[in-house]
Amino acid sequence: MKLLLYAGEVSLYWIMLYACYWLMLRSHTFFKWNRYYLVGSLFAAFALPFVIYPETAPQLPAIYGINAEAFTVSGSEPEQSDTLSWIQAIGIIYGIGLIIAIYKLTLNFVQLKSYLSAGELIELDDCKVVIMDSNHIGSFSFLQWIVINRNDYENHFDAILRHEMVHTRQLHSIDILLIELFKTIFWFNPVLLLYKHSLQEVHEYLADAQAPNREYYAKFLVAYALNAPTVSVTNHFFNPSQIKNRIQMIYKNRTSKWLLSTYVFSVAMIGTAAILIAGCEGKEYNELTFEKKVLTKEDLANKPIFTVVEEQPEFPGGIQEMYKFLGENIKYPEKATRANVSGRVFLSFVVTEDGAIGDIQVLKGLGFDCDEEAVRVLSKFPKWTPGKQNGIPVNVRYNLPINFQLEESDKTSAAKPDANIELRNTTSLNKPLIIVNGVVATDHDIVKKLDPNSIKSVSVHKDQDALDAYGEKGKNGVISIITNKI
């Protein structure tokens, strides 16, 4: 599912980047810059989905806020049904399209190989010229090969060879191969066809610009009337759809260098759009209607909010009671279960000077109702013991990650009535502290008596973490078990 969303974001950024090119850059005579922009934007689209909105970035411990350990919400994977899910259907459709796209690309390369091996080979210092003995295909170049048909060899050899050598020297075929690769993988995205057309057009502008005599060359293009099939992975000398634009660019006055700033402006626009899109993912739930009132930013106006304080705010009964509360109230969303979605939701909220919960925000969400469920439960928190600075209660920002984790269902174990939990490698001297639903267990064998199917989550604390939370009792580690609410 995450891969599907990522592919959608990449496709969206390709559309946005190409729209900037079409609206602001394509008429410039900065042909090299246009080439760099088009190729660069193909790669930039893969990175832009990872842009994080500054206000939604998870905050770092001890510097930007008080952080709690991640709380894990466990759920069982949905049982497999005989019918296909929509994700599986999309996967099948994509696979069929990918096979067809690979087949077409393979046919193009087979056709190209037949052309390269069919003619007479002449090896020059920096390229290989293949002279075709027919006119059924137009002259073209691919990597270091230049294919010239019989008519062009006899009548226009010098002009076409000079033009195609520009393509080989500047490695224009690499751009086309890149586009063909992306077209194969993202066969469903038609904007890549526009990228290819624009790149081929820019390649022709770059080659035409090297012509020694502009007037003669323009007349030559007009007189050149070859109309032959082309190979999609090559730079073809003649393309009827481009001839008008090529002649216009030959005669067009050079663009002022001041307009190089439009490239910077385009990049700035896309960067801003990426930040805004990332900001939309970090949805803020400031005015939620639940069973109890949750304070919003407006309620906290003109009151300082601390991120580091001398005395941290505390859930009634301590951190374990908070985990117990979460375990008893939070539910794995049905939508996330059906979509087989797991991941972490980063939350932030303010513990006010009177212990109330305010300004709940989703710093980084997961979707599929996981964000809403996490916020719903946080809004039900009871009043906390407020944090203090210089002995005075203050508003404190608190960060809490909640991990939604699907577990594979073990039908065999669930069917056994005598299934149990076993702690290995423990002796009477190194037994860990066992806590069940927030209560210290006096019977160390309680884990063997628990029904595994009743366990909702298990947290393990070791070393200094256990000592800080439980003192000397936690020196051998702590196992905290939350069971399903009866």
Q: What is the pLDDT of residues 141-151, one digit of tens each?
A: 888 899 888 88
In this predicted structure, the answer to whether residue 376 has a pLDDT above a threshold of 80 is yes
The predicted model gives 309-334 an average pLDDT of 87
The predicted model gives 342-354 an average pLDDT of 89
Residue 453 pLDDT: 63
Report residue 78's pLDDT band, with 50, 70 and 90 as the boundaries: low
Residue 245 pLDDT: 74
Structure tokens belonging to residue 471: 């003192």
3-state class of 400 per DSSP?
strand
3-state class of 301 per DSSP?
coil
Please list the residues that pair with 346 across neighbouring strands: 364, 401
In this predicted structure, the answer to whether residue 428 has a pLDDT above a threshold of 90 is no
Are the C-beta atoms of residues 473 and 427 closer than 8 Å to each other? no
Residue 366 pLDDT: 85
Closest CA relative to residue 366, chosen from 281, 474, 302, 462: 281
Q: What is the pLDDT of residues 34-46, one digit of tens each?
A: 999 999 999 988 9
Could you give the CA distance from residue 486 to residue 122 in angstroms, rounded to a whole number?
84
Are the C-beta atoms of residues 370 and 336 closer than 8 Å to each other? yes
Residue 38 pLDDT: 92
Are the C-beta atoms of residues 179 and 195 closer than 8 Å to each other? yes
Report residue 242's pLDDT band, with 50, 70 and 90 as the boundaries: low
Report residue 410's pLDDT band, with 50, 70 and 90 as the boundaries: very low
Residue 30 pLDDT: 87
The predicted model gives 365-393 an average pLDDT of 89
Report residue 464's pLDDT band, with 50, 70 and 90 as the boundaries: confident
3-state class of 81 per DSSP?
coil
Closest CA relative to residue 104, chosen from 190, 184, 175: 184
How high does pLDDT run on average in the chain? 77
Which of 131-135, 153-157, 230-234, 364-368 comes out lowest in average pLDDT? 230-234
SS3 content of the chain, % helix, strand, coil (to 5): 45, 20, 35
The predicted model gives 424-439 an average pLDDT of 70
Q: Which has more confidence, 243 or 57?
A: 243
DSSP 234-258: SEES--TTTHHHHHHHHHSPPPPGG
The predicted model gives 347-369 an average pLDDT of 88
List, in sequence order, every beta strand (DSSP E) within 187-239: 235-236
Residue 97 pLDDT: 92
Residue with the two structure tokens 């639940």: 290
For the full predicted model, state whether its pTM sits above 0.75.
no
Rounded to a whole number of angstroms, the CA Rg of the chain reads: 33
Which of 70-74, 282-286, 367-371, 466-470 comes out lowest in average pLDDT? 282-286
Residue 326 pLDDT: 87
Closest CA relative to residue 422, chosen from 447, 457, 454, 446: 447
In this predicted structure, the answer to whether residue 279 has a pLDDT above a threshold of 70 is no
The predicted model gives 398-414 an average pLDDT of 66
Residue 81 pLDDT: 52
Q: What is the pLDDT of residues 112-138, one digit of tens each?
A: 888 888 888 888 888 899 888 877 777
In this predicted structure, the answer to whether residue 301 has a pLDDT above a threshold of 50 is yes
Q: What is the pLDDT of residues 83-110, one digit of tens each?
A: 566 777 888 899 999 999 999 999 989 9
Closest CA relative to residue 137, chosen from 155, 154, 161, 112: 112
In this predicted structure, the answer to whether residue 290 has a pLDDT above a threshold of 50 is no
